[in-house]
Amino acid sequence: KAGVTQTPRYLIKTRGQQVTLSCSPISGHRSVSWYQQTPGQGLQFLFEYFSETQRNKGNFPGRFSGRQFSNSRSEMNVSTLELGDSALYLCASSSTTGNEQFFGPGTRLTVL
Amino acid sequence: GIQVEQSPPDLILQEGANSTLRCNFSDSVNNLQWFHQNPWGQLINLFYIPSGTKQNGRLSATTVATERYSLLYISSSQTTDSGVYFCAVGSNTNAGKSTFGDGTTLTVKP
């Protein structure tokens, strides 16, 4: 079975721009969660989608948003980028019945 | 929310030595995972262990849910074991969210 894939792997943007990141879960997995990893804050939960519905949200500003499509692929969007948004963004998928999460390789975003 | 504390924050070993990493959590959890983060940032699943003991080669893990801690044992460490080890916990009441500790950075010297 193919693992979780994320695109793009690397991204450089400037302040004020917006960015969209994509995550394809493991086939058959319907839950997708997003995390932000920074040296200062560690790994922090952004939000989780299940069957196209956001079920849970972390403590991030409204500039961070996401969605999930009918094939379980998910996208997250960050608008009006700030320098502090530079981070590794990780997505994880899990099955309907299980809680074990499997992570993708991440997208490394640099905001200049 | 749930707090997760990992210890020690840093660990330096000679190749061949054994080590124990600890994860304490502040509330009841339904799931607990151990990960190894490789130099490129990917989180590699080591164990899914909400309770009990599991072993996989030189690695083993034990979670005592009633006492709110988990231990990861690495035996006969190799230089390739170097990296950051994370413990992550979650509960059924908090859909899809794992709370991570700050990690233990392991350096294995040849």
- Tens digits of residue pLDDT in A15-29: 999 999 999 999 999
Residue B85: count of CB within 10 angstroms of its CB: 24
Of B31, B40, B45, the CB nearest to A102: B45
Q: pLDDT tens digits for A51-105?
A: 999 999 999 999 999 999 999 999 999 999 999 999 999 999 998 656 899 999 9
pLDDT for res A43:
97
What are the distances in angstroms from CA B40 to CA A6, A54, B43? 14, 29, 9
Residues of B in contact with A45 (CB under 8 A): 97-99
pLDDT at B12 over 70: yes
pLDDT for res B54:
98
Mean pLDDT of chain A: 95
Residues of A in contact with B90 (CB under 8 A): 99
Grade residue B92 by pLDDT with cuts at 50, 70 and 90.
confident
pLDDT for res B95:
83
Q: Is B82 on the interface with A (CB under 8 A)?
A: no
Q: Is A92 on the interface with B (CB under 8 A)?
A: yes
Of A56, A88, A90, the CB nearest to B96: A56
pLDDT at A8 over 90: yes
Contact predicate B94/B25, CB 8 Å: no
Contact predicate B94/A56, CB 8 Å: yes
